[in-house]
Amino acid sequence: MSGKLDLQRPLGTYLREAGEGGVGQNVFEPVIRAIGANTRSVYLPRVRSVLPEMLETFDAPDASLVTGSRDTTLTPLQSLFLMNNRFVQEQAIALADQLAGLTQKQQVIRLYEVALARTPSQREIQLATEFLARIAEDQADAGRLSGSPGLSSGRFSGRTSGDDAAGMQRGRRSRGSGATEEQPVTRNNEMSPMSPLAIYCQALLSSMEFQLID
């Protein structure tokens, strides 16, 4: 949906890239937790008790157990993941980037079509419009206060500053499957802020309607 999924099959194993070490303790855990691959999840390695953070947070069953039915739990850690995790933010930014060039109303309609497979109601369009205006205003205020250019000017697109935020998630460890180019690693720990539309996209991705298939 964010246009970042790499459909190619990755080459080789993660272990090959991790190099030498005590398998299971020193190698797998950091590698698997840090997976930032854009390939489909069917290619994720599965090492008994170690899971990538997202799967661990969202009820992936323990691989050393026989599991007849999967739990469906709700925990605040899941909410924190949706609110604050870089991966989620990067997806929201990429999603917003794809909507550049549309009018605001078109953007909202397109988003509902892409994310929720339906058209938004009048009320939902109204919620979106109000939200985008409020965030834009808040960012403009913050911009004026700090003396930097307002963040909300121009078209609503994912990134609001020049540095490559999308590289951050994958920067720690790029899969290098041949189809994707190496992305720059941001040296310091600062992250670019998000545009109002990207913040809106993140909210939509965090909604229960997006998360549940029903």
**Nearest Cα to Cα of residue 206 among 117, 20, 79:** 79
CB 93 within 8 A of CB 85: no
**Helical segments of 43-164, H only:** 53-57, 76-84, 86-97, 104-111, 122-146
Stretch in the footprint of other proteins (CB under 8 A) among 6-14, 84-92, 95-103, 174-182: 84-92
* Residue 45 binds to other proteins (criterion: CB under 8 A): no
Interface stretch with other proteins, choices 1-9, 10-18, 38-46, 199-207 (CB under 8 A): 199-207
Q: Does 76 bind other proteins (CB under 8 A)?
A: yes
Can residue 193 be called a binding residue for other proteins (CB under 8 A)?
yes
Site for other proteins in 95-154 (CB under 8 A): 121, 123-124, 127, 131, 134-135, 138-139, 142
- Of the candidates 49, 103, 119, 153, which one interacts with other proteins according to CB under 8 A? 49
Minimum separation from the CB atom of position 156 to other proteins (A)? 14
Spatial separation of the C-alpha atoms in residues 61 and 49, rounded to whole Å: 10
- Tell whether residue 65 is a contact of other proteins (CB under 8 A): yes
Q: Helix 122-146 crosses helix 196-206 at what angle (to 10 degrees)?
A: 130
Q: How far apart are CA 211 and CA 214, in angstroms?
A: 9
Query: 74 or 179: whose CB is closer to other proteins?
Result: 74
Closer CB to other proteins, 7 or 145, in the complex: 145
Q: Please work out, in degrees rounded to the nearest 5, the angle formed at the alpha carbon of residue 64 by the alpha carbons of 59 and 67.
A: 55
